[in-house]
Amino acid sequence: MSEPAPFDPARHALFLDFDGTLAPLVADPGAVPVTPALVSRLGAIARETNGALAIVSGRRIADLDRFLAPLDFAAAGVHGLERRARPGGRVESIASPEDLDDVRMRLRDGVAAEPRLALEDKGTALVLHYRTAPDLAEAAARLMAEAVTDREGLSVLHGDMIVEVHPAGMDKGVAVAAFMAEAPFAGRVPVYLGDDRTDEFALGVVEERGGLAVKVGRHPSVARHRLADVSAVHRWLGVAEASR
């Protein structure tokens, strides 16, 4: 893999994962450090691209708004189960929290029995975190498998120190394709940066469309380009220049 060519705001549409791409992975998901320089640079990119910038994340859009305030941006949250088509637009959801009520109860019981696991309830998705206890990877996978037993129409994703379940039929690739069908993204060349297994759906879609797919980190990927880490992403975006 090679490093990607420079971003061209005149012809590219930019899609960015959040955790592990824009911000470092930390033990406490609520304590992610985001610098003013990063927010400022993303705001400049949004202006330079006439709004063709979207954050595509497993997080809820409300959480992204909190971390990136006062930036106004298009977003896909919870792997596309939430979507804001344009800055300032309404957040739309294609699933209901009630769809996961039975799974939620089973996971809560399992986490109570193993307190080193953490359950994050996103409403339309449930996430088991074991970042502070990596030895529980198999236990987390087993607990999730048991929780979704006899349930149809659900998708289980294994990410970086997490196992997540949400209603099937949506992933980051579907979310990117939906953005590319509408202004201001339509007619531009898609660019996607992501580090996690869940980003592979979007990286594949971008490769198929002849865009610029960029894997962040060392894991195998369908992407043809790579950046080493969050710091390399910031340099590629021009964050360092923006902070001077």
Residue reference for tokens 């910031």: 234
Distance from the Cα of residue 155 to its chain's centroid = 16
CA distance 190 to 14: 6
CA distance 32 to 35: 10
Listed residue (88, 91, 60, 75) closest to 175, CA to CA: 75
The residue count of the chain comes to: 244
CA distance 130 to 119: 9
Contact (CB, 8 A) for 15 and 54: yes
CA distance 184 to 196: 26
CA distance 91 to 175: 13
User: What DSSP state is assigned to residue 78?
Assistant: G
All residues at 6 or more sequence positions from 145 whose CB lies less than 8 Å from its CB, including other chains: 156
Which of 17, 19, 65, 171 is catalytic? The answer is 17
Q: Is 17 a catalytic residue?
A: yes
Question: Catalytic residue positions?
Answer: 17
